[in-house]
Chain A
Amino acid sequence: MVFTTYEFVLFLACVTALYYTAFKRAQWQFLLAASVAFYAYSGWRNLLFIAVTVVTTFIAARCMARLQGKRERRPWLIAALTVNIGILLTLKFTRLAFPLGLSFFTLQTMSYLIDAYRAKDGDAVERNPFKLALFTSFFPQLLQGPMSRYGTLKRELFEPHAFSGANVSAGLERIALGYFKKLVIADRVMPVIGGLSYPVAAAVYAVALYCDFTGGIDVAIGVAKLLGITLTENFDSPYYSRNIQEFWRRWHMTMGAWFRDYVFSPLSTSLPSIRLAAPCKRAFGDRIGRRVPIWLTIMVTWFATGLWHGADAHFIVWGLANGAVIIVSQELTNSSRDFARKFPRLTASKVFDAFRIVRTFCLMSLIRSLDWTIMRESSAALGTSDWLCAGLATLFVVFYSRLRQKRSSPEFNLAFACVMVVLIAVFGAYGQGYSVSQFIYTRF
């Protein structure tokens, strides 16, 4: 079920009404039923994959909880990860079927398994398989995140939530903002990007992708808020970043944190990786040799990140390009510090900050354009009024995003939700001449 359809709006209205009335004493059980219904709408067969993931994850985690040491738990972890990763890679490579949200719920359950493996206390592992099923399938975040950790989401999901005007207005405002970004900006310009000349296309694509992805996340977070559930934020104004490392701390934060905590950190702190430093020092000298294992781990992590996005070569190239730029950027840190010491007034100025922000945006747009399948998806052309509309809407999002951080109150939220609904109705790219398009990240 696509977030931008009337079916979804109707589904959400019914779920919210029943959640706070008929099912107020069984809210999480009702959310599980609603999530299953939401997922089944995309095809009953898809339920099979998510069910296998939940059952294998639950059994393996419970078995690990009964054991004390990591050594004893390891076979269960390996077996469950093999099943989960096996399903993900098999379906990605063979394309026999691709259940919606597969990449997202697989990572969520993997984090649950690894946390259970690392847990000092077996009581931290869930005893109720239906609660794990809700964590895996919670419908607002199922298709494109944000990816949650069980430890942070369980209280939100399973505690009762009384109806709250503040939550409802905050949820509606966030949903309206998400729809605005998607329907007024992303869906208007995305179909024509391939027809633009290269540098313009790369910049427009960066903006459109931001509106599409953050729009979807806004809707997900808003829907959860409507139900009294707070999800983890996934973006922190990433296009204000001054370097690529900062960008990746502020863009798709839950995915970045996942790969950092479950791939990069364990790999780089593993004994083989640490021991690799000694031969590398002998081969390349002390300064470079000690860095080589870290560079390798960065490249492996970004290879995995690219592969998670898709099995096509351009995703791998995109991942490796990110890794390479991060390594170069990291190695230039000392030069950057020297430059700041030599020119303290310049580097502390707002102009220099602006330069770094523009430079990072251009660099990220360039790397992003490696995803050429979307860059080539084009045919139509936009008229001047459409470009003007998209441009003004982008400016509105920039200023409104700043404003809402400072002046958030139930009245403010409700007023702006109404304003945005009107703006979407007037300027949105929907209805005749437009086709309903899924959010880009649901492809992953």
Chain B
Amino acid sequence: MDRLIATLLRVNPDIDYASENALISDHVLESLDLITLVYELYSEYQIQLGAEDLTAENFDSAERILQFIELKRS
């Protein structure tokens, strides 16, 4: 989780990722932030995400993002 939080902080350092549960639903992460995150996840975890992956279900919280990364890597 620490590695992911560090990645997320590079995208937007002003968000409390440990407690935020509506990153997409409440537009906390905007579309440009999301794309930056896609690039960061590619360079950090070597996973490629498609436009249809960028949903609240997958990206609303750090925990969900981590689960999604694990799913993609498996």
Interface, chain A (partner B; CB < 8 A): 118, 245, 249, 260-261, 264-266, 268-269, 271, 274, 277, 290, 293-294, 297-298, 330, 337
Residues of B within 8 A of A297 (CB): 35
Closest chain A CB from B58 CB (angstroms): 13
User: Scoring B residues 35 to 50 as 1 if CB is less than 8 Å from chain A, else 0, what string do you get?
Assistant: 1101100110000111
Query: Quick one: which of B7-61 are within 8 Å of A by CB?
Result: 14, 27, 30-32, 35-36, 38-39, 42-43, 48-54
Pairs of residues from A and B, 10 with the lowest C-beta to C-beta distance, nearest first: A265-B51, A268-B35, A266-B51, A274-B42, A269-B38, A118-B52, A269-B51, A330-B32, A294-B35, A260-B31
Assess whether B42 is in contact with A294, with CB atoms less than 8 Å apart.
Answer: no
Residues of B within 8 A of A290 (CB): 36, 39
Interface, chain B (partner A; CB < 8 A): 14, 27, 30-32, 35-36, 38-39, 42-43, 48-54
**Cβ-closest chain B residue relative to A290:** B39
Q: A266-B51, A290-B36 are in contact. List 10 more A-B contacts (CB 8 A).
A: A118-B52, A245-B32, A265-B35, A265-B51, A265-B54, A269-B38, A269-B48, A269-B51, A293-B39, A297-B35
**Cβ-closest chain B residue relative to A245:** B30
Number of inter-chain CB pairs below 8 Å: 43
Bound form: Cα–Cα A301–B53 in Å: 20
14 contacting pairs across A/B (C-beta < 8 A): A264-B31, A264-B35, A265-B35, A265-B51, A266-B51, A269-B35, A269-B48, A269-B49, A269-B53, A274-B48, A290-B39, A293-B39, A294-B36, A330-B32
Bound form: Cα–Cα A298–B35 in Å: 11
Question: Given that A274-B38, A290-B39 are contacting pairs, would A269 and B50 also be in contact in the complex, using a CB cutoff of 8 Å?
Answer: yes
Interface centre among B14, B39, B50 (most CB of A within 10 A): B39
Interface centre among A266, A274, A298 (most CB of B within 10 A): A274
Bound form: Cα–Cα A92–B66 in Å: 46
Residues of B within 8 A of A118 (CB): 52
Bound form: Cα–Cα A290–B37 in Å: 11
Interface of A: prevailing SS: helix
Bound form: Cα–Cα A264–B51 in Å: 9
Residues of B within 8 A of A330 (CB): 32
Interface centre among B30, B31, B42, B48 (most CB of A within 10 A): B31
Residues of A within 8 A of B53 (CB): 269
**Cβ-closest chain A residue relative to B12:** A333
Assess whether B39 is in contact with A274, with CB atoms less than 8 Å apart.
Answer: yes
Closest chain A CB from B39 CB (angstroms): 6
Assess whether B32 is in contact with A277, with CB atoms less than 8 Å apart.
Answer: no
Bound form: Cα–Cα A298–B14 in Å: 23
Interface centre among B14, B27, B35, B50 (most CB of A within 10 A): B35
Residues of A within 8 A of B50 (CB): 266, 269
**Cβ-closest chain B residue relative to A268:** B35
Bound form: Cα–Cα A277–B51 in Å: 18
Bound form: Cα–Cα A274–B36 in Å: 10
Residues of A within 8 A of B42 (CB): 274, 277
Closest chain A CB from B17 CB (angstroms): 16
Closest chain B CB from A344 CB (angstroms): 13
Assess whether B39 is in contact with A277, with CB atoms less than 8 Å apart.
Answer: yes
Closest chain A CB from B26 CB (angstroms): 13
Bound form: Cα–Cα A370–B30 in Å: 27
Assess whether A261 is in contact with B48, with CB atoms less than 8 Å apart.
Answer: no
Assess whether A268 is in contact with B30, with CB atoms less than 8 Å apart.
Answer: no
**Cβ-closest chain B residue relative to A297:** B35
Closest chain A CB from B35 CB (angstroms): 4
Closest chain B CB from A119 CB (angstroms): 10
Bound form: Cα–Cα A294–B31 in Å: 11
Assess whether A271 is in contact with B35, with CB atoms less than 8 Å apart.
Answer: no
Residues of B within 8 A of A261 (CB): 51
Closest chain B CB from A65 CB (angstroms): 17
Closest chain B CB from A82 CB (angstroms): 20
Bound form: Cα–Cα A259–B1 in Å: 33
**Cβ-closest chain A residue relative to B30:** A245
Closest chain B CB from A166 CB (angstroms): 29
Interface centre among A245, A266, A268, A337 (most CB of B within 10 A): A268
Residues of B within 8 A of A271 (CB): 48
Residues of B within 8 A of A293 (CB): 39
Bound form: Cα–Cα A268–B48 in Å: 11
Residues of B within 8 A of A266 (CB): 50-51
Bound form: Cα–Cα A20–B17 in Å: 52
**Cβ-closest chain A residue relative to B34:** A265
Residues of B within 8 A of A265 (CB): 31, 35, 51, 54
Residues of A within 8 A of B49 (CB): 269
Bound form: Cα–Cα A40–B52 in Å: 37
Closest chain B CB from A325 CB (angstroms): 13
Bound form: Cα–Cα A286–B49 in Å: 21
Bound form: Cα–Cα A293–B42 in Å: 14
